[in-house]
């Protein structure tokens, strides 16, 4: 089963970083967040990816084209320019890098990849969010209901902590609990090719148009993920993910 990852947006909410590189290439622990997302899938048996590129796509393409050499030891004969790469096994991933346009909206990017998924069930997520999502349980949930689409619903940390009172005494204090907000779209979709009937143009939003229409047609179900999930929309959120990684206990690290 192929996994589409949307990697082409301008990342305007993260301009301090995205002026130099696309948002999915911002690093956590020395690796692009895109690598972390792909590792979540690959660790659970899903290692074929289609990356929907746009803004600064050449940086993503160069990363994967040079991945093997940059992660290997190399002997170079400077006189003739001959290079020998000493074998280091890379991840067993198949990665297709597809230009989906510079200013194409999320639905339009997905629509441009129709031929890449053919008539098969496929997965899709965003290039800026990680979580310890059980991908196999997600796929099982999708297959159980027979609808066109399954979205992973998550409950992110609240923006502010909460305090429970009894008169003026504090009974409970919670600093930004994971379940502090309602359920939201966490990405990590499983989709049937029929969803392409709900995408009509490049400028169409997947979230604001396509998903709403799919839901109205009774073709959208949810997989409720109770565990860790975090998007990276701000510098503060990047710093949070970096600190979790540096602690050696990053919740989304489901691979060994």
Q: Is residue 15 part of a domain?
A: yes
**What CATH number should be reported for the domain holding residue 81?**
3.90.550.10
Which pLDDT score, from 0 to 100, does residue 27 have?
A: 96
Which pLDDT score, from 0 to 100, does residue 17 have?
A: 75
Q: Is residue 123 part of a domain?
A: yes
* Statement: residue 222 has pLDDT above 80: yes
Query: 26-30, 153-157, 214-218, 239-243 — which is least confidently predicted?
Result: 153-157
Which pLDDT score, from 0 to 100, does residue 86 have?
A: 87
Question: Per-residue confidence at 78, pLDDT binned at 50, 70, 90?
Answer: very high
Question: Per-residue confidence at 190, pLDDT binned at 50, 70, 90?
Answer: very high
Read off the pTM. 0.90
Q: Is residue 220 part of a domain?
A: yes
Concatenating the DSSP letter of every residue in 85-104 gives: EEP------EEEEEE--SS-
Q: Is residue 174 part of a domain?
A: no
Q: Is residue 252 part of a domain?
A: no
Q: Is residue 17 part of a domain?
A: yes
Give the range of the structural domain holding residue 29, as residue numbers without chain letter: 2-149+185-246
Which pLDDT score, from 0 to 100, does residue 125 have?
A: 98
Structure token digits, residue 61: 């393409």
Q: What is the three-class DSSP state of 104?
A: coil
* Statement: residue 92 has pLDDT above 80: yes
- Of 225, 228, 224, the C-alpha closest to 251 is 228
Q: Is residue 190 part of a domain?
A: yes
Q: What is the mean pLDDT of residues 105-109?
A: 97
Look over the chain and give the mean of its residue pLDDT values, rounded to a whole number.
91
For the chain, what is the domain count?
1
Query: 82-86, 133-137, 215-219 — which is least confidently predicted?
Result: 82-86
**Which range scores top for mean pLDDT: 71-85, 137-151, 176-190?**
137-151
Q: What is the mean pLDDT of residues 44-63?
A: 97
* Statement: residue 255 has pLDDT above 70: yes
Structure token digits, residue 4: 């589409």
Q: Is residue 226 part of a domain?
A: yes
Beta bridge partners of 97: 51
* Statement: residue 181 has pLDDT above 80: no
Q: Which residue in the block uniquely carries the two structure tokens 């998007």?
A: 231
């Amino acid at each position: 089963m192929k996994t589409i990852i949307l990697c082409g947006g301008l990342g305007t909410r993260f301009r301090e970083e995205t002026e130099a590189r696309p948002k999915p290439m911002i690093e956590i622990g020395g690796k692009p967040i895109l690598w972390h997302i792909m590792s979540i899938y690959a660790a659970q048996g899903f290692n074929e990816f289609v990356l929907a590129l746009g803004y600064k796509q050449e940086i993503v393409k160069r990363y994967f084209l040079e991945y093997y050499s940059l992660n290997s030891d190399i002997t170079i004969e400077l006189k003739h320019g001959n290079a020998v790469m000493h074998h280091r096994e890379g991840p067993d991933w198949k990665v297709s890098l597809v230009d989906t346009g510079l200013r194409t909206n999320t639905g339009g990017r997905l629509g441009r990849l129709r031929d890449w998924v053919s008539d098969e069930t496929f997965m899709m997520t965003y290039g800026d969010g990680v979580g310890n999502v059980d991908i196999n349980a997600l796929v099982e949930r999708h297959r159980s209901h027979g609808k066109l689409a399954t979205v992973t619903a998550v409950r992110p940390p609240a923006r502010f902590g909460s305090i429970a009172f009894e008169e003026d005494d504090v009974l409970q204090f919670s600093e930004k609990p994971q379940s502090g907000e309602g359920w939201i779209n966490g990405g990590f979709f499983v989709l049937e090719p029929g969803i392409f009937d709900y995408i009509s143009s490049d400028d169409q939003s997947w979230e604001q148009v396509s998903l709403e229409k799919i839901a109205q047609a009774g073709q959208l179900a949810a997989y409720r993920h109770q565990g860790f999930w975090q998007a990276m929309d701000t510098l503060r959120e990047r710093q949070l993910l970096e600190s979790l990684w540096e602690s050696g206990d990053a919740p989304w690290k489901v691979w060994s």
